[in-house]
Structure formats: structure tokens, C-alpha cells
Amino acid sequence: MTQSIESFRLPNGLTVLVEKMPDVQSAAMTLLVPAGCVQDLPGKCGTGSILTEMLPRGASGYSAREYCSRLDNLGLQRNVSIGTSHITFTGATTADRLNESIQEFARMILAPHLADEEFEPARDLVEQSLTAMEDEPRQRLGKALRQHSFAAPWGNSAEGELNDLPNITIADVRRHFHELICPNESILGIAGNVDSEQVREIVSNVFETWTPKSAPPIRSGERLDPMFHMHHESAQTHIGLSWESVPYHHPLYYDAWAAVSLLSGGMSSRLFTEVREKRGLCYAISASLNTLRDEGRVFAYAGTTNERAQETLDVTVAEIRRLHEGITDDELQRCKARAKSALIMQQESTTSRASSMARDVYHLGRVVTLDEIHSKIDGLTTDSVRNFIVSHAPRSMVLVTIGPQSPDSSCVTALGQ
């Protein structure tokens, strides 16, 4: 498949990527702005999350309701969310409405109201979301596992912290916007049945007044205790594990991905087969590869009964330990088939393509073509994956559990620290 991808950079530093997809009738955009939760001030985790709630609430002289109506009239499906490194703006509509959609969507980026009266409702929504997470042990576990796996502030909760919300003011939210929502280091991906020259013209005109700024440096702190238990009276125990892997830009990234796919890539994977199906130890088990720009880790989860928590942990760790053993061509071919199926669906989705291009440039400094990904996947062999697993044996293991009793962690500490 031949891809038509063009890129350019505005004088203010905004990087723009445009992929023409002539066989679709839609268009989508993804804007990554380096204003993620790592920029929340100490004791005010949740500032960026509140900002994402406030940005669509009125802009350029239009009230929240008027602005929402303008976007709805364009049929623009949109979202503003916060992650570790970025606030992400996404939008999708029909291709013939893209130019107008860019103009309207840009209002919240360039001139949001951030009105006093919208602060409390936005903070209340963040509080409700965090309170709901507290009632879901699996979400609490995921949040804590990340906090104990990455050094602060990279382990910050994107959603925020309940205890920090009362400390956050509208002034903090405005500071976050004025200091961090800027074009330099921001990346805009656009994909669909679009004309690249028209896109270049409209983007240049719309964002030419966006002023570049120097963001404050991010200083890494200490890592939390790698073994952590949260007491919770329940009939269930939730187990979270993480260990070092490689980031997206690493030359062996696809071998790392394949290793995790062997471990937890569907109903025929090692963890599902051995821990859930054969032994019936847990009702849910999974693992995934998570990557920051300079650090990658595997995150694993198991949910089980209290009586079987220790055995579940022991067997899970044993499967991780023996992952390099007996890798078959059939196993690897199933991993490749899943990856190629996902690629086919991605190449038909303008939203996926816009997001992927922006992500690639952030992590790699360039766009990875679908043909290149196909080639990387086809090039995987049982030997290359096995060699990766052996040479990158689990290190810096982290164990976080939620339940009435902490399981014995000796199997984890023996595996790798």
C-alpha cells in the first residue's frame, strides 16, 4: 500500500502531518500538546485534568452552549483528554467539512474562556470521576501500579488525585494553559480524503498567531517502594505486576511486542491458557506493553479469589519466567495475524491514522509507514523473539496488590529487581 504523507513545520514550531486517503469520505485530526500531567505542580495533581474539562466550555466570544452548537453543526466528533506527556485534542468529520472544523476546533486551543463560573463544575466532574475510580479496585490497582513503576512525575495519575483537588484554583488552571498550551513541540496529524495544499493553507492561517513559549523543565523524582499492598475487605484479590521492557523507539520494540503478545495476546496466549483455562485460578488476566518516550514497561493484571491469590501470583510469575521456552512457529504466526488484522482496521480509520502519525513523530521523529510495520512484523522469528526474552529478562519488578491480605512476594523478588 502506497501512502501519501506530507509534513511541514510552521514558523511557530507546530509540526503538521497530512496523509491523503482517497478511498474514504471522512477526515480526522489529532493534536498532541506537551501539557500532560507530568506538568502538574506538586500537591496539585489534577490541574491538567480540570483544564481539559474547561477548554470546550466557551471560546472566542461564544458561550459554552453556542460553541458546542457550532461544533455539533459541523458533525464534528471530538474529545479533549490528558495523558502523561500530552493533552490530546481529537476531531473527526466528513472530509468536505474539515477546513471549517479546523477553524472552529482551534478556538478552544487559541482562545478558550476559562471562565470563573466554569471552574467549579469542571472540578466537580473530575472529582466524580476520581471517586468512581476509588470504587473500582481494578482501576485503583492500575493507578497505583503506574505510580510505583515510574519515577515521579512520570507515574502521576492523569485523572488527578482526590486529596489534591481542594488545593487547585482557577489560577492554577490558567497557569497550566498559558505556560504549556503552545505550538513548539506540538504535533498535528490530519488524515482523510483531503487536499494537502488546502490543509497547509488553512492550518497556517488558523495557527499563525499561536505564540511559542518555553515550558518549565520536568525533573524526575524518586521511585516508590516496588512492593505495595492496599488493604481492602473483599472476596477478591487484585494483582498488578510490572517490569522493564524497551520503549517504542528501540530497535527491538517489535520483538518486545511479540513477547508480550505470546504472554497475553488472546485466548491462546500463555497466561490465559495456563492460569485461567487449565488451572481456573482467576477470572481475568492480561498483560500489555506500555511505553513512555524513553522508558518501556510491561504491565500485567490478574483478578482472583482470596483463597487462590498466592497460587495465581506464583503461577503467573512462573509463566513469565519460562516465556522463552518452547516458542513455536504457530504461536508466533497467531501473533502476526492479530497484528496484521489490527493494521488493516487502522488503515481504514482516519482517526487511527491521524493519531498514529502524531504518536510516531513524538516517539521517533518521523512517521512509520504501514508497509514498514508489515515488514517489521514479517521479519519476526521464533529465534529473534526468544533471544529478546532471554536478553531482556524481567528487571525492576513491581508488585501491587489490593485485597484483605498481601500475598508472599518472594517469587517476584526472586524473578528480578
Task: Work out the pLDDT band at 416, boundaries 50, 70, 90.
Answer: low
pLDDT tens for residues 75-101? 999 999 999 999 999 999 999 999 999
What Å distances lie between residue 43 and 37, 215, 219, 343, CA to CA? 12, 19, 15, 41
Considering the segment(s) 227-415 as one domain, its CATH architecture is 2-Layer Sandwich (3.30)
pLDDT mean over 55-70? 96
Mean pLDDT across the chain, nearest whole number?
95
In which residue are the cell numbers 501512502 written? 3
Distance between alpha carbon 414 and the CA centroid of its chain, in Å?
30
Neighbours of 191 (CB within 10 A): 30
Cβ–Cβ < 8 Å for 14, 188: yes
pLDDT tens for residues 265-311? 888 899 999 999 999 999 999 999 999 999 999 999 999 999 999 99
pLDDT mean over 13-27? 96
pLDDT tens for residues 90-143? 999 999 999 999 999 999 999 999 999 999 999 999 999 999 999 999 999 999
Considering the segment(s) 4-207 as one domain, its CATH architecture is 2-Layer Sandwich (3.30)
Task: Work out the pLDDT band at 2, boundaries 50, 70, 90.
Answer: low
**Torsion angle (degrees, nearest 10) of CA 327, 397, 39, 212:** -40
In which residue are the cell numbers 495557527 written? 207
Q: Given a cut of 60, is residue 417 above it in pLDDT?
A: no
pTM: 0.95
Query: Which residues are paired to 188 by β-bridges?
Result: 16, 31
* Nine-digit cell string for 181: 498550551
**pLDDT value at position 36?**
97
In the chain, where the domains are located? 4-207, 227-415
Burial class (CB in 10 A: 0-12, 13-18, 19+), 296: buried
Cβ–Cβ < 8 Å for 312, 303: no
Residue (of 374, 302, 352) closest to 1 by Cα position: 374
d(CA 283, CA 303): 6
pLDDT tens for residues 372-390? 999 999 999 999 999 999 9
pLDDT mean over 182-209? 96
d(CA 350, CA 98): 12
Q: How far apart are the first and last CA of the chain?
A: 44
Residue (of 59, 54, 19, 13) closest to 34 by Cα position: 13
227-415 and 4-207 share a CATH fold: yes
Q: Given a cut of 70, is residue 1 above it in pLDDT?
A: no
In which residue are the cell numbers 490465559 written? 272
Could you please report the per-residue DSSP string of 268-292?
Answer: TSHHIIIIIIIT--EEEEEEEEEE-
